[in-house]
Amino acid sequence: MSNIITVAAAQLGPIQKDEGRDVAVARMVRLLERAHQRGAQVVVFPELALTTFFPRWYHEDLNEVDHWYESELPSAATQPLFDAIKKLGLTVYLGYAELAFEADETGAVRKRRFNTSVVIAPSGEIIFKYRKVHMPGHVEYAPARKVQHLEKRYFEIGNLGFPVVRAPVGGTPVNMGMMLCNDRRWPESWRSMGLQQVELVMLGYNTPSLNMENKGFEAHHLRVFHSELSIQAGCYQNATFAVATAKAGNEDGHELFGHSVIVNPQGEVMARTTTWDDALAVADCDLEMCRLGRTTIFNFALHRRTEAYGRITEQTGSVEPPVWTSREGSL
Amino acid sequence: MSNIITVAAAQLGPIQKDEGRDVAVARMVRLLERAHQRGAQVVVFPELALTTFFPRWYHEDLNEVDHWYESELPSAATQPLFDAIKKLGLTVYLGYAELAFEADETGAVRKRRFNTSVVIAPSGEIIFKYRKVHMPGHVEYAPARKVQHLEKRYFEIGNLGFPVVRAPVGGTPVNMGMMLCNDRRWPESWRSMGLQQVELVMLGYNTPSLNMENKGFEAHHLRVFHSELSIQAGCYQNATFAVATAKAGNEDGHELFGHSVIVNPQGEVMARTTTWDDALAVADCDLEMCRLGRTTIFNFALHRRTEAYGRITEQTGSVEPPVWTSREGSL
């Protein structure tokens, strides 16, 4: 049995605010067909792949944004995607805004909103679901910002942890994990999945070309560097492959930087999209490559020291360190 | 008051097994003088800076290795280093093998061995101490290995956590943290210090040019890449500067890869040594640069989600994920 699987990042160019799901879904079906032609078995779409990145638009009344959410999968609008998945025999990661009617922590069933991704099997079944944990942005309209980033308004914090599931791709079992966008910058996301022997992290993102908080200088080119740096370090330090797929280009006047990448367990970029349009990056991943890190430098059982990690789970924000003063007075 | 401090990585070329501390100390004093001439206020030496990297040599009787450890600082042999520190007014990170007589977890006072670093103030006082937490290597002689790596034999696991201390450099208070070698590959080390608002991570290392465990392919050039990747990601994700200093070159027939670097809070390499000999890299660090990450993307209080991080402290080794099976049977 081969341990090589072929994976694709299926980047989407911009989806404008006034474009319907039919436009996005038709483009995604074409990408699935092209990925299949290139031998891909796993295809990863971006975060919020079916619509524009709507958290940049402020609405006081949350009910006004309901049309950007999916309350079922498949729906009439997304059925063509599921049909293509079944026809082509693909395993597909899909990011979307989820509207759920389910119990909250008080037990009350209510309308809940999550930034969600699923992995869909070649049978059309949902293998597993992830809800974004690291929610960037803010809740209220921020007058100082040129562009709003209202993810914290439009989505609750994900409540499914960082799940990893072992599922077959062709005849090969693969330990699959998911992230969404900002999760990739947080080593906690990667480590939570590394501790479950993840071999393939799938993640979609919508990342603007500038840090929009206007609190200091961050050059354009560093934005791409930071994205790749975080993904490469996450892969290396957890001995996993990753497929990271962007929504790219000028969406409603706002630039998203693209640069979808496939990264190996050594942290090397194997493939990268270099347009800001619908585009594929495809690579063969030998899952055997996950073994080296896992059995040597990053043999967690041998080398991790949880007794020294207390702050990571006991503390949310940072604290000031103690002050040292020379016995000899001022230095 | 300026927020700019000038820091130096003071790389050491090889120290051979038969060379005494006098040789190392004399070279280190010259590096301190040159660093001072170049305006450095903080100088970072490698891990185990006073001797060869002795954990590559096996001894059945631990008492035979005592001569590689320091039981006091300063000692007669290291006094010239402290004299130069005071004369030049420098703040200095020094890595060394520590022999301590202190109580263990049972309360019994005994001889204990740690892989240790200290920061020494311009007054000659020890500001604080760190003992290496992420100990690589093995305890017993490993016949399959071409080179032994007996750190787990010769050192106990560090018992001081990841301390950060606020201490003045010139007139500027700096939140200082320390690591040693392998610690830099572990995001837990960086995050533990990021949660204490670290602004300057000092770390020394001795890293061979090959993964010596012979369990798979890891190309020469990836070794340097992995070192820099881990340091750059750690700095970016915790909004801190780092000075990472190597012992470099051919030490007793074994190649150490050098490439000491100074990295800024954006993860950019500001300076790098490119020889395998005694060498300096110097850079001006504007501590104000730590603010951007800390108040935007990596505002921990706003964005970290400790309820999703349980595995990081509850689990040491990895566990197998659950297996998914299609309702439709084999895919």
Q: State yes or no: is B132 an active-site residue.
A: yes
pLDDT in tens, A241-290: 999 999 999 998 999 999 999 999 999 999 999 999 999 999 999 999 99
Question: A318, B197: Cβ pair inside 8 Å?
Answer: yes
pLDDT surpassing 90 at residue A220 = no
Of B170, B175, B318, the CB nearest to A194: B318
Evaluate whether residue A53 is within a structural domain. yes
Evaluate whether residue B140 is within a structural domain. yes
Evaluate whether residue A313 is within a structural domain. no
Task: State the nearest Cα–Cα gap between B185 and chain A, in angstroms.
Answer: 7
Percent of chain A predicted with pLDDT > 70: 97
Evaluate whether residue A323 is within a structural domain. no
Task: State the nearest Cα–Cα gap between B12 and chain A, in angstroms.
Answer: 24
What integer pLDDT is reported at residue B331 of this predicted model? 43
Task: Work out the average pLDDT over A130-157.
Answer: 95
The catalytically annotated residue of B181, B235, B285, B290 is B181
Task: Work out the average pLDDT over A99-107.
Answer: 94
Residues A130, A113: contact at Cβ < 8 Å?
no
What integer pLDDT is reported at residue A214 of this predicted model? 65
Evaluate whether residue B17 is within a structural domain. yes
Residue of chain A with shortest Cα separation from B151:
A303
Look up residue A143 and give its amino acid: P
CATH number at residue A282: 3.60.110.10
Task: State the nearest Cα–Cα gap between A38 and chain B, in angstroms.
Answer: 20
Evaluate whether residue A310 is within a structural domain. no
Could you list the residue range(s) of the whole structural domain that residue A287 is in?
Answer: 4-305
How many angstroms separate the CA atoms of A61 and B288, rounded?
A: 39
Question: A208 has which bridge partners?
Answer: A256
Average pLDDT of chain B is 95
Question: A324, B128: Cβ pair inside 8 Å?
Answer: yes
Which residues on B lie below 8 Å from A180 (Cβ)? none
Structure tokens at A59: 């609405």
Q: State yes or no: is B285 an active-site residue.
A: no
Q: Which residues of A have a catalytic role annotated?
A: 47, 132, 181
Query: E strands within chain B?
Result: 4-11, 42-44, 91-103, 109-120, 126-131, 164-169, 172-180, 200-205, 241-246, 248-251, 254-257, 261-263, 269-272, 279-286
Residue of chain A with shortest Cα separation from B188:
A309
> Read out DSSP for B243-310?
EEEEBEEEETTEEEE---EEE-TTS-EEEE--SSSSEEEEEEEEGGGHHHHHHTTT-HHHH--GGG-H
Residue of chain A with shortest Cα separation from B171:
A331
Evaluate whether residue B15 is within a structural domain. yes
Task: State the nearest Cα–Cα gap between A23 and chain B, in angstroms.
Answer: 30
Torsion of CA A109, A113, A115, A120, to 10 degrees: 50
Q: Count of domains in chain B?
A: 1
**Band of the pLDDT at A331, cuts 50, 70, 90?**
very low
pLDDT in tens, B84-101: 999 999 999 999 999 999
Which residues on B lie below 8 Å from A158 (Cβ)? 308
Residues A259, A272: contact at Cβ < 8 Å?
yes
Which residues on A lie below 8 Å from B313 (Cβ)? 306, 309-310, 312-313
Task: State the nearest Cα–Cα gap between B231 and chain A, in angstroms.
Answer: 9
Structure tokens at A51: 């619509």
How many angstroms separate the CA atoms of B13 and B49, rounded?
A: 10
How many angstroms separate the CA atoms of A308 and B189, rounded?
A: 9
3-state class percentages of chain B: helix first, strand second, coil last, to nearest 5: 30, 30, 40
Average pLDDT of chain A is 95
pLDDT in tens, A14-41: 999 999 999 999 999 999 999 999 999 9
**Band of the pLDDT at A85, cuts 50, 70, 90?**
very high
Question: A197, B321: Cβ pair inside 8 Å?
Answer: yes
For an interface test with B, which of A147, A309, A330 has the most B Cβ atoms less than 10 Å from its Cβ?
A309
ipTM comes to 0.96
What integer pLDDT is reported at residue B330 of this predicted model? 47
Angle at B280 between CA B275 and CA B285, to 5 degrees: 130
Residues B256, B208: contact at Cβ < 8 Å?
yes
pLDDT in tens, A188-207: 999 999 999 999 999 999 99
Which residues on A lie below 8 Å from B198 (Cβ)? 321
Evaluate whether residue A216 is within a structural domain. yes
Residues B227, B244: contact at Cβ < 8 Å?
yes
Residue of chain B with shortest Cα separation from A123:
B328
Which residues on A lie below 8 Å from B163 (Cβ)? 321
Percent of chain B predicted with pLDDT > 70: 97
Sign of the dihedral defined by the CA atoms of residues B245, B261, A326, A321, in that order = negative
What integer pLDDT is reported at residue A330 of this predicted model? 47
Chain A and chain B share a number of CB contacts under 8 A equal to: 279
pLDDT in tens, B153-209: 999 999 999 999 999 999 899 999 999 999 999 999 999 999 999 999 999 999 998
Closest-CA residue to A161 (of B310, B300, B315, B191): B310
pLDDT surpassing 90 at residue A162 = yes
Which residues on B lie below 8 Å from A173 (Cβ)? 323
Q: How many CA atoms lie within 13 A of B297 on its CB side?
A: 26
Residue of chain B with shortest Cα separation from A173:
B323
